[in-house]
Protein backbone atom coordinates (compact mmCIF):
# COMPACT_ATOMS: atom_id res chain seq x y z
CA UNK A 1 0.00 0.00 0.00
CA UNK A 2 1.20 3.52 -0.76
CA UNK A 3 2.69 4.95 2.48
CA UNK A 4 0.87 8.27 2.09
CA UNK A 5 -2.51 6.58 1.74
CA UNK A 6 -1.71 4.24 4.60
CA UNK A 7 -0.98 7.17 6.89
CA UNK A 8 -4.29 8.79 5.95
CA UNK A 9 -6.24 5.60 6.49
CA UNK A 10 -4.73 5.33 9.95
CA UNK A 11 -6.20 8.65 11.02
CA UNK A 12 -9.52 7.61 9.55
CA UNK A 13 -9.42 4.47 11.66
CA UNK A 14 -9.63 6.74 14.70
CA UNK A 15 -12.75 8.49 13.43
CA UNK A 16 -14.58 5.45 12.16
CA UNK A 17 -14.20 5.56 8.40
CA UNK A 18 -11.85 2.59 8.16
CA UNK A 19 -11.54 -0.48 10.32
CA UNK A 20 -7.75 -0.55 10.14
CA UNK A 21 -5.86 -0.50 13.45
CA UNK A 22 -2.39 0.26 12.09
CA UNK A 23 -0.45 3.39 11.33
CA UNK A 24 2.27 3.53 8.75
CA UNK A 25 5.46 1.70 9.52
CA UNK A 26 5.28 0.83 13.23
CA UNK A 27 2.66 -1.69 14.28
CA UNK A 28 3.41 -1.20 17.99
CA UNK A 29 3.19 2.60 18.27
CA UNK A 30 0.88 2.89 15.29
CA UNK A 31 -2.11 1.36 17.04
CA UNK A 32 -1.64 3.42 20.21
CA UNK A 33 -4.33 6.00 19.49
CA UNK A 34 -6.98 3.44 18.58
CA UNK A 35 -5.96 1.44 21.64
CA UNK A 36 -6.29 4.51 23.84
CA UNK A 37 -9.80 5.09 22.55
CA UNK A 38 -10.92 1.48 22.83
CA UNK A 39 -9.39 1.03 26.30
CA UNK A 40 -11.74 3.65 27.68
CA UNK A 41 -14.50 1.07 28.12
CA UNK A 42 -15.26 -1.06 31.15
CA UNK A 43 -13.55 -1.47 34.48
CA UNK A 44 -16.29 -0.88 37.04
CA UNK A 45 -17.79 2.33 38.42
CA UNK A 46 -16.86 5.15 40.76
CA UNK A 47 -19.12 7.87 42.21
CA UNK A 48 -16.53 10.41 41.10
CA UNK A 49 -17.41 9.65 37.47
CA UNK A 50 -20.96 10.88 38.01
CA UNK A 51 -19.74 13.86 40.02
CA UNK A 52 -17.43 14.88 37.19
CA UNK A 53 -20.13 14.56 34.56
CA UNK A 54 -22.59 16.55 36.68
CA UNK A 55 -19.93 19.25 36.89
CA UNK A 56 -19.91 19.43 33.09
CA UNK A 57 -16.84 17.34 32.30
CA UNK A 58 -17.21 15.11 29.26
CA UNK A 59 -14.91 12.44 27.78
CA UNK A 60 -13.70 12.01 24.25
CA UNK A 61 -16.06 9.24 23.11
CA UNK A 62 -14.61 5.74 23.17
CA UNK A 63 -16.83 4.79 20.25
CA UNK A 64 -15.24 5.79 16.95
CA UNK A 65 -18.54 6.55 15.25
CA UNK A 66 -19.58 8.85 18.09
CA UNK A 67 -16.23 10.60 17.90
CA UNK A 68 -16.64 11.04 14.16
CA UNK A 69 -19.98 12.78 14.70
CA UNK A 70 -18.20 15.36 16.84
CA UNK A 71 -15.19 16.10 14.65
CA UNK A 72 -16.50 15.72 11.10
CA UNK A 73 -17.68 18.69 9.04
CA UNK A 74 -20.86 17.89 7.05
CA UNK A 75 -19.99 20.67 4.60
CA UNK A 76 -16.59 19.09 3.89
CA UNK A 77 -16.63 15.43 4.98
CA UNK A 78 -13.35 13.92 6.11
CA UNK A 79 -11.64 11.53 3.68
CA UNK A 80 -8.18 9.97 3.53
CA UNK A 81 -7.20 12.11 0.56
CA UNK A 82 -8.23 15.36 2.24
CA UNK A 83 -6.40 14.47 5.45
CA UNK A 84 -3.15 13.75 3.65
CA UNK A 85 -3.41 16.92 1.55
CA UNK A 86 -4.28 18.98 4.62
CA UNK A 87 -1.31 17.56 6.47
CA UNK A 88 1.07 18.57 3.68
CA UNK A 89 -0.36 22.09 3.57
CA UNK A 90 -0.11 22.33 7.38
CA UNK A 91 3.61 21.57 7.21
CA UNK A 92 4.38 23.58 4.05
CA UNK A 93 6.31 26.82 4.76
CA UNK A 94 5.62 28.03 1.22
CA UNK A 95 2.21 29.16 2.44
CA UNK A 96 4.09 32.00 4.16
CA UNK A 97 5.53 35.06 2.42
CA UNK A 98 9.09 34.11 3.41
CA UNK A 99 8.83 30.38 2.67
CA UNK A 100 10.09 29.89 6.25
CA UNK A 101 6.96 29.62 8.41
CA UNK A 102 4.34 26.87 8.35
CA UNK A 103 1.34 26.23 10.55
CA UNK A 104 3.55 23.76 12.39
CA UNK A 105 6.03 26.51 13.28
CA UNK A 106 3.76 27.96 15.97
CA UNK A 107 1.65 24.83 16.50
CA UNK A 108 4.34 22.18 16.54
CA UNK A 109 2.80 18.71 16.64
CA UNK A 110 5.98 17.31 18.20
CA UNK A 111 5.82 19.66 21.20
CA UNK A 112 2.22 19.58 22.35
CA UNK A 113 0.88 21.61 19.41
CA UNK A 114 2.58 24.83 20.59
CA UNK A 115 5.85 26.72 20.02
CA UNK A 116 7.05 26.87 23.62
CA UNK A 117 7.64 30.64 23.73
CA UNK A 118 5.75 33.39 25.53
CA UNK A 119 4.56 35.24 22.45
CA UNK A 120 4.34 33.86 18.92
CA UNK A 121 7.17 34.81 16.55
CA UNK A 122 6.35 35.33 12.89
CA UNK A 123 7.47 36.98 9.66
CA UNK A 124 10.77 38.83 9.99
CA UNK A 125 11.18 37.54 13.55
CA UNK A 126 8.25 39.73 14.57
CA UNK A 127 6.94 39.03 18.07
CA UNK A 128 3.16 39.10 18.35
CA UNK A 129 2.38 42.80 18.88
CA UNK A 130 -0.17 41.99 21.60
CA UNK A 131 2.21 39.52 23.28
CA UNK A 132 -0.23 36.67 22.63
CA UNK A 133 0.76 33.07 23.19
CA UNK A 134 0.11 30.33 20.61
CA UNK A 135 -2.65 27.97 21.81
CA UNK A 136 -2.35 24.26 21.15
CA UNK A 137 -3.88 22.88 17.98
CA UNK A 138 -4.49 19.47 19.57
CA UNK A 139 -8.18 18.94 20.40
CA UNK A 140 -8.99 22.44 19.11
CA UNK A 141 -11.90 20.89 17.22
CA UNK A 142 -13.69 20.74 20.59
CA UNK A 143 -13.35 24.50 21.20
CA UNK A 144 -16.56 26.47 20.85
CA UNK A 145 -14.57 29.32 19.34
CA UNK A 146 -11.04 29.93 18.08
CA UNK A 147 -8.44 32.61 18.92
CA UNK A 148 -8.07 34.22 22.34
CA UNK A 149 -10.85 36.68 21.50
CA UNK A 150 -13.11 33.97 20.09
CA UNK A 151 -13.55 35.71 16.75
CA UNK A 152 -13.53 32.55 14.63
CA UNK A 153 -16.32 29.98 14.94
CA UNK A 154 -14.40 26.98 13.62
CA UNK A 155 -11.00 25.71 12.48
CA UNK A 156 -11.55 26.32 8.77
CA UNK A 157 -12.17 30.01 9.39
CA UNK A 158 -9.35 30.23 11.92
CA UNK A 159 -6.83 28.84 9.44
CA UNK A 160 -7.28 31.88 7.21
CA UNK A 161 -6.08 34.37 9.82
CA UNK A 162 -2.45 33.46 10.63
CA UNK A 163 -1.53 32.89 6.98
CA UNK A 164 -2.48 36.46 6.09
CA UNK A 165 -1.53 38.25 9.33
CA UNK A 166 1.53 40.48 9.00
CA UNK A 167 3.17 39.43 12.29
CA UNK A 168 2.64 35.76 11.44
CA UNK A 169 2.91 34.21 7.96
CA UNK A 170 2.22 37.50 6.12
CA UNK A 171 1.05 35.94 2.86
CA UNK A 172 -1.72 37.57 0.80
CA UNK A 173 -4.43 35.22 -0.49
CA UNK A 174 -3.36 35.47 -4.12
CA UNK A 175 0.26 34.62 -3.28
CA UNK A 176 -0.82 31.48 -1.44
CA UNK A 177 -3.00 30.37 -4.35
CA UNK A 178 -0.23 31.06 -6.88
CA UNK A 179 2.28 29.07 -4.86
CA UNK A 180 -0.01 26.05 -4.51
CA UNK A 181 -1.35 26.02 -8.08
CA UNK A 182 2.17 26.36 -9.52
CA UNK A 183 2.97 22.90 -8.16
CA UNK A 184 1.46 20.16 -10.37
CA UNK A 185 1.57 17.55 -7.61
CA UNK A 186 -0.61 19.74 -5.40
CA UNK A 187 -3.08 20.33 -8.22
CA UNK A 188 -3.39 16.57 -8.70
CA UNK A 189 -3.89 15.99 -4.98
CA UNK A 190 -6.67 18.58 -4.89
CA UNK A 191 -8.35 16.78 -7.81
CA UNK A 192 -8.09 13.45 -5.98
CA UNK A 193 -9.51 14.99 -2.84
CA UNK A 194 -12.29 17.13 -4.32
CA UNK A 195 -12.81 15.99 -7.92
CA UNK A 196 -11.46 17.05 -11.31
CA UNK A 197 -13.52 20.24 -11.38
CA UNK A 198 -12.13 21.59 -8.11
CA UNK A 199 -11.29 25.29 -8.02
CA UNK A 200 -8.24 25.81 -5.84
CA UNK A 201 -9.03 28.96 -3.90
CA UNK A 202 -7.50 30.36 -0.73
CA UNK A 203 -10.61 29.20 1.13
CA UNK A 204 -10.30 25.68 -0.28
CA UNK A 205 -6.69 25.56 0.89
CA UNK A 206 -7.52 26.70 4.42
CA UNK A 207 -10.60 24.46 4.57
CA UNK A 208 -8.31 21.51 3.87
CA UNK A 209 -5.88 22.56 6.60
CA UNK A 210 -8.79 22.92 9.03
CA UNK A 211 -10.03 19.46 8.10
CA UNK A 212 -6.65 17.96 8.95
CA UNK A 213 -6.65 19.81 12.28
CA UNK A 214 -10.04 18.25 13.11
CA UNK A 215 -8.35 14.85 13.33
CA UNK A 216 -5.79 15.95 15.95
CA UNK A 217 -7.57 14.37 18.91
CA UNK A 218 -5.70 12.96 21.91
CA UNK A 219 -7.67 10.60 24.20
CA UNK A 220 -6.15 10.19 27.65
CA UNK A 221 -6.61 8.09 30.78
CA UNK A 222 -9.01 10.76 32.05
CA UNK A 223 -11.30 9.79 29.16
CA UNK A 224 -10.87 6.13 30.05
CA UNK A 225 -12.00 6.98 33.58
CA UNK A 226 -15.07 8.95 32.52
CA UNK A 227 -15.93 6.25 30.02
CA UNK A 228 -16.16 3.69 32.83
CA UNK A 229 -12.67 2.44 33.65
CA UNK A 230 -12.61 3.14 37.39
CA UNK A 231 -8.97 2.16 37.89
CA UNK A 232 -7.70 4.45 35.10
CA UNK A 233 -6.84 7.11 37.72
CA UNK A 234 -4.91 6.56 40.93
CA UNK A 235 -5.85 7.93 44.36
CA UNK A 236 -3.87 11.18 44.03
CA UNK A 237 -5.29 11.86 40.58
CA UNK A 238 -8.82 11.27 41.82
CA UNK A 239 -8.19 13.55 44.77
CA UNK A 240 -7.01 16.20 42.34
CA UNK A 241 -10.10 15.80 40.18
CA UNK A 242 -12.29 16.14 43.28
CA UNK A 243 -10.51 19.37 44.25
CA UNK A 244 -10.74 20.63 40.66
CA UNK A 245 -14.52 20.24 40.83
CA UNK A 246 -15.05 21.40 44.42
CA UNK A 247 -13.00 24.58 44.05
CA UNK A 248 -15.04 25.63 41.01
CA UNK A 249 -12.53 25.13 38.19
CA UNK A 250 -15.22 23.47 36.09
CA UNK A 251 -17.13 26.75 35.83
CA UNK A 252 -14.75 27.69 32.99
CA UNK A 253 -12.95 24.45 32.20
CA UNK A 254 -15.71 22.03 31.21
CA UNK A 255 -16.98 20.04 28.25
CA UNK A 256 -14.79 17.70 26.24
CA UNK A 257 -12.08 20.33 25.83
CA UNK A 258 -12.09 21.32 29.51
CA UNK A 259 -12.15 24.86 28.15
CA UNK A 260 -12.53 26.40 24.72
CA UNK A 261 -15.35 28.85 25.52
CA UNK A 262 -15.39 32.58 26.24
CA UNK A 263 -15.16 33.53 29.91
CA UNK A 264 -14.68 36.57 32.07
CA UNK A 265 -11.06 36.84 33.14
CA UNK A 266 -9.33 38.70 35.94
CA UNK A 267 -12.52 40.17 37.37
CA UNK A 268 -10.58 40.74 40.59
CA UNK A 269 -7.79 42.61 38.81
CA UNK A 270 -5.20 40.42 40.47
CA UNK A 271 -3.53 38.59 37.56
CA UNK A 272 0.16 39.02 38.27
CA UNK A 273 1.12 39.71 34.65
CA UNK A 274 -1.96 41.63 33.50
CA UNK A 275 0.14 44.52 32.13
CA UNK A 276 2.20 42.35 29.76
CA UNK A 277 0.72 42.95 26.32
CA UNK A 278 -2.35 45.03 25.55
CA UNK A 279 -4.89 42.23 25.09
CA UNK A 280 -7.80 42.66 27.47
CA UNK A 281 -10.32 40.33 25.85
CA UNK A 282 -13.02 40.78 23.23
CA UNK A 283 -15.62 43.55 23.10
CA UNK A 284 -17.29 41.98 26.13
CA UNK A 285 -13.96 41.79 27.98
CA UNK A 286 -14.01 38.01 27.71
CA UNK A 287 -11.09 35.71 26.99
CA UNK A 288 -11.25 32.19 25.64
CA UNK A 289 -10.51 29.68 28.39
CA UNK A 290 -7.83 27.41 26.90
CA UNK A 291 -8.27 23.67 26.77
CA UNK A 292 -6.53 21.90 29.63
CA UNK A 293 -5.84 18.81 27.55
CA UNK A 294 -2.09 18.10 27.28
CA UNK A 295 -1.54 21.06 29.61
CA UNK A 296 1.75 19.70 30.98
CA UNK A 297 3.16 19.96 27.41
CA UNK A 298 1.93 23.44 26.52
CA UNK A 299 3.83 25.87 28.76
CA UNK A 300 4.06 28.80 29.00
CA UNK A 301 0.50 29.48 30.13
CA UNK A 302 -2.19 32.17 29.90
CA UNK A 303 -2.94 34.39 26.93
CA UNK A 304 0.33 36.30 27.31
CA UNK A 305 2.48 33.27 28.11
CA UNK A 306 3.95 34.67 31.30
CA UNK A 307 3.47 31.65 33.56
CA UNK A 308 5.92 28.79 33.07
CA UNK A 309 4.90 26.19 35.65
CA UNK A 310 1.66 24.39 36.36
CA UNK A 311 2.11 25.16 40.05
CA UNK A 312 2.07 28.90 39.45
CA UNK A 313 -0.70 28.60 36.87
CA UNK A 314 -2.91 26.86 39.43
CA UNK A 315 -2.04 29.42 42.11
CA UNK A 316 -2.79 32.33 39.80
CA UNK A 317 -6.09 30.84 38.68
CA UNK A 318 -7.16 30.42 42.30
CA UNK A 319 -6.48 34.08 43.01
CA UNK A 320 -7.68 35.53 39.71
CA UNK A 321 -10.85 33.55 39.09
CA UNK A 322 -11.81 31.84 42.33
CA UNK A 323 -10.57 34.42 44.86
CA UNK A 324 -8.95 31.70 46.93
CA UNK A 325 -5.48 30.64 47.98
CA UNK A 326 -4.66 27.10 46.90
CA UNK A 327 -2.15 25.56 49.29
CA UNK A 328 0.81 23.48 48.12
CA UNK A 329 -0.75 20.13 49.03
CA UNK A 330 -3.95 20.82 47.09
CA UNK A 331 -1.95 22.35 44.28
CA UNK A 332 0.07 19.16 43.88
CA UNK A 333 -3.09 17.05 43.74
CA UNK A 334 -4.70 19.29 41.13
CA UNK A 335 -1.50 19.15 39.10
CA UNK A 336 -1.56 15.34 39.32
CA UNK A 337 -5.08 15.40 37.90
CA UNK A 338 -4.17 17.83 35.12
CA UNK A 339 -1.41 15.49 33.99
CA UNK A 340 -4.03 12.78 33.38
CA UNK A 341 -5.19 14.97 30.49
CA UNK A 342 -1.98 14.25 28.57
CA UNK A 343 -3.25 12.14 25.71
CA UNK A 344 -2.00 9.74 23.07
CA UNK A 345 -1.08 11.69 19.94
CA UNK A 346 -1.94 10.59 16.42
CA UNK A 347 1.06 8.97 14.74
CA UNK A 348 1.86 11.70 12.22
CA UNK A 349 4.70 11.12 9.79
CA UNK A 350 6.40 14.29 8.61
CA UNK A 351 5.43 14.61 4.95
CA UNK A 352 7.74 14.95 1.96
CA UNK A 353 6.38 18.01 0.17
CA UNK A 354 6.09 18.32 -3.62
CA UNK A 355 8.78 20.30 -5.42
CA UNK A 356 8.37 23.90 -6.47
CA UNK A 357 8.57 24.76 -10.17
CA UNK A 358 9.97 27.58 -12.27
CA UNK A 359 6.62 29.36 -11.97
CA UNK A 360 6.36 29.11 -8.18
CA UNK A 361 6.57 32.61 -6.68
CA UNK A 362 9.86 33.10 -4.91
CA UNK A 363 10.26 33.88 -1.20
CA UNK A 364 9.82 37.46 -0.07
CA UNK A 365 12.36 38.14 2.66
CA UNK A 366 13.31 41.53 4.05
How far apart, in whole angstroms, are the C-alpha atoms of residue 135 and residue 143? Answer: 11
Closest to 307 measured CA to CA, from 139, 133, 93 = 133
Active site residue 168: yes
Instruction: Give burial (CB, 10 Å; 0-12/13-18/19+) of 43.
Output: middle
Closest to 298 measured CA to CA, from 134, 91, 144 = 134
Q: What sign does the dihedral 184-190-196-197 (CA atoms) show?
A: negative
Pairing of strands 262-264, 121-122: unpaired
What would the DSSP string read from start to end of 17-63?
A: S------TT-HHHHTHHHHHHHTTS-S---HHHHHHHHTTB-PPPSS
Q: Which residue in 84, 156, 168, 189 is the catalytic one?
A: 168
CA atoms within 13 A on the CB side of 66: 9
How far apart, in whole angstroms, are the C-alpha atoms of residue 164 and residue 173? Answer: 7
- Please provide the size of the chain in residues: 366
Contact between 189 and 88 under an 8 Å Cβ cutoff? The reply is yes
How far apart, in whole angstroms, are the C-alpha atoms of residue 36 and residue 168? Answer: 35
How far apart, in whole angstroms, are the C-alpha atoms of residue 154 and residue 289? Answer: 16
Contact between 329 and 17 under an 8 Å Cβ cutoff? The reply is no
Q: What sign does the dihedral 91-92-95-98 (CA atoms) show?
A: positive
Active site residues: 168
Amino acid sequence: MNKTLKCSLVVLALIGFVGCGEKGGDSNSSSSLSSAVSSAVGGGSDPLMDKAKKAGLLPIPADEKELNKLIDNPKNPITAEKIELGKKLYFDPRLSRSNLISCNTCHNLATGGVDGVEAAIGDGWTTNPHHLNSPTVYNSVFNKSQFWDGRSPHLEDQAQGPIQAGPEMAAPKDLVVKRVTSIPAYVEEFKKAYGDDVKITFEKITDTIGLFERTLVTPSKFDAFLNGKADALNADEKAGLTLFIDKGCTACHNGIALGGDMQNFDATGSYKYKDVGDFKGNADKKVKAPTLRNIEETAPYYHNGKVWTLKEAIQQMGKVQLMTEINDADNAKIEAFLKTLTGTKPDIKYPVLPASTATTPQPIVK
